Structure 1
Amino acid sequence: MIQSNQLLFFFSALGAFNGFLLSLYFAINAKNKKFTNYFLSLLLLVLSIRIVKSVFFYFNPHLSNIFIQIGLSACVLIGPFLFLYLKSVMENEKPNWKIHVIPYLTAITIIGFFYPYVEHHEVWSRWIVNAIYFQWFIYIALSLKYLWPVILKLKKKESLQKLDFWFLSIYLGVAFIWLAYNFALYTSYIIGALSFTFILYLIVLLLIFRKSSDSTFFHEKKKYQNKEIDKKMLDEIGQKLSILIEKEAFLNSNFTLEEAANELKITKHLLSQYVNEILGKSFSNLIKEYRIEKAKQLLETEKNYTIESLGYDCGFNSKSSFFTAFKKITGLTPAEYQKSSLK
C-alpha cells in the first residue's frame, strides 16, 4: 500500500472511529436531553457502521461478506434516525419511533436472511441497495420540514443560534454523504475524506459550544431559576397571547414556540416560562389543547367534515397524532365525541 493510500486509510478510519466515540458520548449524555440524544447517538452509530464498511472494503476487497451486508443494512436506519432526531428536537416531544424503525429493521433482516449478500451480490447491488438509498433520500426530504425555521432565518438574513448551526450541520452532513454514495465515481475516497471532515467538524462545534459560558447546549438548566416575570410583563404577555389565540394562529401545523414568540415580540425563553409557570403546561400541550377545542367545535357544528381532514384543518400533521391527542385530552375518539354531541 503506497503512502498516500495509507494516509487516506488512516484519516478515513479515524473519522469513522470518532463517529463511534461521538455516538457513545451522546448515548451517555442522553439524560440531559431525554430521548433526543438517543436518536442522535443512533444516527451517528449507523452512519459510522456504513462508513467503516466502505473504508475497509476499499482497502481490503476480501472483507467478509457478512460485514459488507451489515454495513449496507445500516443505511436503512440513517434516514429514520435523522428524521426522528430533528422532529423530537423541534417539536419537543417524543415521536413514535417504532413506526420509523421496526418495519425497516424487520424488512432488512428478513431480506438479509433469505437473500444473503454472499450469495446474491447482484440482487443487492441492483435492487436492495438502490431501494435503501431511495428510502434514505425520502427521509432527508421529510427532515427538511424541521429545518424550515432555520432556512427562513437564513433567507431573512437573521443571526443563527448555536443549535441552529448544529442542526444544519447534522442535516447537511448526512445529505452530503448520501450524495457522495449515489453520485461519486470514487465513493470510498470521497466518503473517507467527507466522513472524517464531518465528524471532526461536529466535534469542534461541540467543544466550542460546550465551552461557551452562556451556552445551554444539550443541557437543561434548572428551569427559569431566579428569573421571575414582573406583573406588568405577565399582563402584557397574557393579552398578546389571547389575541394570538383569537386569530387561531395555532391552526398552522408549523406553528412553533419560536414563531409565537416572534409574533408576541418576546423571547422564546420568556414565552416558555410564562406558559410553564403561569398556565402550568408546556407550549406544545397548550397548542394541542387549543387545536382539540377547535376540533370539538367543528365536530359539534359541521357535518360535512371527514374526521381525518378535520384533524389536518385543526393543525395536526397526521391522522394518528390527531387521534392520539384527542383521545388523551377528551377521553373519547373523535367519532365517539361526535356521536355524543349529536344526542
Structure 2
Amino acid sequence: MNISSSLLFFFSALGAFNGLLLSGYLLLTKPRTISNTFLSLLLLMISVRITKSVFFFFNPQLAGEFLQVGLAACFLIGPFLYFYCTSQQNKLSTLWLSWHWQLGLLTICMLATIWLVPYSRDSHNWHIIFKVINHVWLCFILMSAYVLRPIFIQWWRDKKLVDASDITAISVFVGVSLIWMAYFTSRYTSYIAGALSFSVVLYFNLMFFVLRRKALSAAPIEKYSDKKIDDKQAQQHISQLQTLLNEQHLYKDAQLTLSKVAKRMGVSSPYLSQLLNDNMKVTFTHFINEYRIELAKEMLKTNTKKVDDIADECGFNSTSTFYAVFKKHVQMTPSAFRKNAL
C-alpha cells in the first residue's frame, strides 16, 4: 500500500472509529434519553457500514459474512434517523405504529433476508437487495424531513436557528443525507466516497459545536431585571407560555431548559425566569413538572404501558426521578395511583 492509499485508508477509517466511540459515549452517558439512544444506534449503524466499505475497498476478497453485516447495518440507518428525529420533536407517541413494533418488524425482515439469502452463496441477488436498501434509506430520509419541517420553516423564516437541539437534529439529518448521496452516486465517483463523507461530516459537526460552545460561553450574561413586569404584559406572556406547552407539548422533551422555552416565546431567559418566579410564584422546574405529572396521571389511568415507558414519554430523564417527582406532587407512587384509579 503506497502513501496515498495509506492516507486514504487512515482518513476514511478514522471517521468510523470515532463514530463507534461517540456511539458508546452517547449510550453510556447520563442522563440517558431516548433521542440520545437513537442517535447512538444511528452512529453505530453508520460506523459498521463505513467500516465494511473501507475494508472492502482495500481488500475486495473479504468474507461474505462481513460484507453482509455491513449491508444489513445500512438497512437500519434510515429507521434510526427517523426515530431520532421523531423523538427530538417529541412525536414518538403519535406514530401510527409504535417504534418498538416498527423496529422489531424491520429487524425481522433484515434477519430473514440474511438467513434466506446469504451473501456468500448468492452475491448476485445482494446487488438487488442493496438497491432496495438504498431506496428504503431514502424513504426514511424523506419521512425525517417531514418530521423536521417545523424546524426548516423556522429556519427559513428567521434565517437562523438558536435552539441547540434543533441545530443538532438538522446537522444529523443533513449529514446522513450527504452520506446517502455519496453512496448512491458512488458508481460515478468512488466507492470510498461514502466513508470519506462520514469523516468530513462527523468532524465538521464536532468542530461546529465546539466553536459554538466557546462563543456561547464568551457571550455576556443578561442580568435579572429588578423592575416588576407589568400585570397586563405578564398575563399575555403567561397565556402565550401555557398555549405553547399545551399545543406543542414541549414538556415531553427531557432536555427542555428555561432558555429553550424563552427562545420559543421570543423573550430572554432572565425575563421568563422573573415571570415564573415573581408573577406565577413557581420555579421553572416545578412548572414544567406539573404538566408532566398531569400527563402521567392521565396515562396511568387510561393505558397499560409500563411505568418506565410513561416516565420517558412524559419527559423525565429517569424512572427514579419520575417516582420522586410524582410522589412529591400526588403524595403516592405511580403504581399506587394506577391501582387506585382502576
- TM-score range for the pair, normalised by the shorter chain length: 0.5 to 0.7
For 2:178 and 2:18, the matched residues in 1 are separated by 18
Aligned to 1:135: 136
For 2:14 and 2:231, the matched residues in 1 are separated by 53
Shift of the alpha carbon at 1:237? 4.8
Shift of the alpha carbon at 1:213? 5.5
Superposed CA RMSD in Å reads: 4.3
For 1:36 and 1:229, the matched residues in 2 are separated by 38
TM-score, structure 2 normalization: 0.66
- Native 8 Å contact 2:86 2:144 kept in 1: yes
Aligned to 1:97: 99
Aligned to 1:55: 54
- Between 49-58 and 184-193, the greater mean CA deviation after superposition: 184-193
Aligned to 1:16: 16
Aligned to 2:198: 195
For 2:262 and 2:146, the matched residues in 1 are separated by 20
Mark the CA change 1:201 to 1:59 in structure 2 (over 3 Å): closer, same or farther.
same
Mark the CA change 1:282 to 1:8 in structure 2 (over 3 Å): closer, same or farther.
same
Mark the CA change 1:148 to 1:229 in structure 2 (over 3 Å): closer, same or farther.
farther
Q: Identity of counterpart residues, as a percentage? A: 30
Listed as ranges, the gaps of 5+ residues in structure 2 are 299-312, 315-342
Aligned to 1:334: none
Aligned to 2:155: 154
SS in structure 2 opposite 1:188? coil
For 2:212 and 2:153, the matched residues in 1 are separated by 23
For 2:46 and 2:194, the matched residues in 1 are separated by 11
For 2:31 and 2:139, the matched residues in 1 are separated by 30
Shift of the alpha carbon at 1:73? 0.3
Aligned length: 280
- Between 76-85 and 64-73, the greater mean CA deviation after superposition: 76-85
Listed as ranges, the gaps of 5+ residues in structure 1 are 216-225, 293-323, 326-343
Aligned-partner residue type, residue 194 of structure 1? S
Mark the CA change 1:6 to 1:245 in structure 2 (over 3 Å): closer, same or farther.
closer
Mark the CA change 1:138 to 1:214 in structure 2 (over 3 Å): closer, same or farther.
same
- Native 8 Å contact 1:11 1:193 kept in 2: yes
Shift of the alpha carbon at 1:206? 4.0
For 2:50 and 2:227, the matched residues in 1 are separated by 53
Q: Does 1:4 align with 2:7?
A: no
Aligned to 1:177: 179
Aligned-partner residue type, residue 196 of structure 2? A
Mark the CA change 1:134 to 1:91 in structure 2 (over 3 Å): closer, same or farther.
same
Shift of the alpha carbon at 1:261? 6.7
Aligned equivalent of 1:108, options 110, 118, 122: 110
For 1:8 and 1:44, the matched residues in 2 are separated by 21
Aligned-partner residue type, residue 25 of structure 1? Y
TM-score, structure 1 normalization: 0.66
